[in-house]
Homo-oligomer: A and B are copies of this chain.
Amino acid sequence: MPWLIYIFGLTLLLRQPEGVILSSLSDFIEQYLKELLADAVEGIIMLQRRELAEMFECAPSQINYVLDTRFTLDRGYLVETRRGGGGYIRIVRLTFRTGPDFLSVVEEKIGDEITRGRAEGLLFRLQEEGFLDVHECIFIRTVLDRETSKAPQNYRGAIRAGMLKAMLALLLRE
């Protein structure tokens, strides 16, 4: 169900993602950009950093912060920018092709080892694209954290990868 959110004199129509509260300005900017992406043809938007910063009344560099932390490749986004007069920021949303080999694509992304950050990005992306629900995501993250924290440092990547693949195999089958 969409929410009307009043922020800094603006009225924005933002969807409230399931199980998430938007608590920081960065969260709002993220959600706003995702709204734009959802409406955009081809999942591509172009905008100006300065304009966006003025809109949210924040430092321009905060836009970079949002892009760096929320629109990463692991989460399924490409960001391209250009400086100078007529500069721009372009955000492309990547989507998984579904199909019989979908699971193998995901497994290949995981590989034999995976860092915590990349695992989180992937889970985030799978949730955003509707392959996992909030419960499943939270549960997987918790199990991963709990088990890897007990393992010796140098095994962690491998154990995390194995567990992640095992759980996704169960949840993504058919």
- What residues of chain A have their CB less than 8 Å away from a CB belonging to chain B? 18-21, 23-27, 42-44, 46, 48, 73, 78, 80, 85-88, 90, 92, 94, 112, 134-136, 138-144, 146-148, 150-151, 155, 158-159, 162-167, 169-171, 173
Contact = CB atoms under 8 A, between A and B. Distances in A.
How many copies, total?
2
Contact of A42 (B19, B73, B80, B147): B19
Interface of A is mostly: helix
State the 4 A-B residue pairs at the shortest beta-carbon distance, nearest first. A24-B86, A23-B86, A163-B166, A159-B162
Nearest to A150: B112
Nearest to A46: B21
Contacts of A43: 135
